[in-house]
Amino acid sequence: CGSARGALDAAVGALQRRSRQQRNLNHSVHALLRKTGVTLRLPCEPCTCPDPSVPPAALRQFLGMYGALLTELRGRPRALAEIVHRGAGPPESAVQLLLCFVFGHLWQPDEEAALLDVSEGLLSLRMQEAGVARALDAGALPERLLSAYLRVMPGGAAWLQAALGAQVQRVVEESERGLCLMADAMDAYLSLPAALKAEVDRDVERGEVAAL
């Protein structure tokens, strides 16, 4: 029994080390994304972790309870929505908490459904406080969460194209003057194939096109 307990403790210690290493790696990747976003002047900068996720020694004794609480809240999306809504933190932190830590496996249907339940709860609470017209105001938590979710939603690009493409085409066909779509220049550049991106880069180097 003592030998099995020792092996278990060693395995738990190894898992904890791997977890800390992974979180530190996540921090480094987020920092790189932030630097890239600033360099490219992206309109929406990715969320970032301010510090490596290694808890102070005084808080490590609460990790088990924190994990149990997180597991419980994952199964109670309405309660989780209420807690996040009543929190005093900025929307960006709440979005990062929900997408990166609580519901980080959106390719699993049940997890994605739970996140959508939380989103619905947040939207309902926002409507009760600010009214229907301001429920999705820019910068509000429901708007930030849904905007971030659309960027990572499994199959999201194909869904948006199917949902909007036909309507845009119909407007173009029925409009007497045609249609001019307003698009962000950086978004348009990032959507180009590699060959066309290289062509744009060459034009910028030659001074024929202004840099974004």
Model confidence at 201: pLDDT above 60: yes
SS3 (DSSP) at 103: coil
Per-residue pLDDT tens for 139-194? Answer: 899 999 998 888 888 777 777 777 777 777 777 777 666 555 555 566 666 667 77
> CA–CA separation, 18 vs 98, rounded Å?
22
191 phi-psi bin (left φ>0, alpha ψ -120 to 50, beta other): alpha
Residue 118's nearest CA partner among 72, 70, 76 is: 76
Q: What is d(CA 135, CA 125) in angstroms, rounded to the nearest whole number?
A: 9
> Which tokens hold the place of 24?
């530190």
- What is the rounded CA–CA span in Å between residue 48 and residue 28? 9
pLDDT at 39: 58
More confident residue, 84 or 50: 84
> pLDDT digits over 85-103, tens only?
888 778 888 888 888 888 8
- How far from 62 is each of 66, 87, 140, CA to CA, in Å? 6, 20, 31
* Residue 209 pLDDT greater than 70, yes or no: no
